[in-house]
Amino acid sequence: MERRRALAYARVGVAYPVATVVAAAGLARLLGWDPGLAVLALSMGSAATLAGLLLSETGGMRPPEADRGREQQRGVLGLGGGGGGGSNGDVPNVARSRQARLRAFSLGLFVLTVALVLVLGGAVPGL
């Protein structure tokens, strides 16, 4: 099972970002744009995605009391599950799995594009 998980993360975190960068650079080249600018735009997009994921996972670093008050309000209004148990227990697992794939893809894309921006921008001497 661990091997399958590692292969999945390698596919999502390495292969998909490489294919995305190659496709974006190729499309930029076909359109007559600078491929370095396309890579830079991908880098900024992946950084924004990572920041958004961090913000959504941490809740903006709210104290636990804020969440407890929100759950009480939702329970009074009939919108909440009463404490997060019961039928709502399966939903976070699916959401975490999607977030994990998006986080792996965004992190792989960010690392790859930052390295390419440094190389294409001439910041790394000798390459």
Per the model's pLDDT, the better-predicted residue between 98 and 67 turns out to be 98
Reported as a pLDDT band with limits 50, 70 and 90, residue 84 is: very low
For the segment 18-74, what is each residue's pLDDT rounded down to a tens digit?
Answer: 999 999 999 999 999 988 889 989 999 999 999 988 888 777 666 666 666 556 555
Q: Is residue 115 part of a domain?
A: yes
The whole-angstrom distance between residue 64's C-alpha and the CA centroid of its chain comes to 25
Cβ atoms of 15 and 104 closer than 8 Å? no
Query: Which domain range does residue 50 map to?
Result: 2-120
**For residue 22, which phi and psi values (nearest 5 degrees)?**
-60, -45
Reported as a pLDDT band with limits 50, 70 and 90, residue 89 is: very low
Q: Choose among 117, 124, 123: nearest CA to 34.
A: 117
Number of domains the chain contains: 1
Q: Is residue 31 part of a domain?
A: yes
Q: Choose among 32, 25, 3: nearest CA to 113.
A: 25
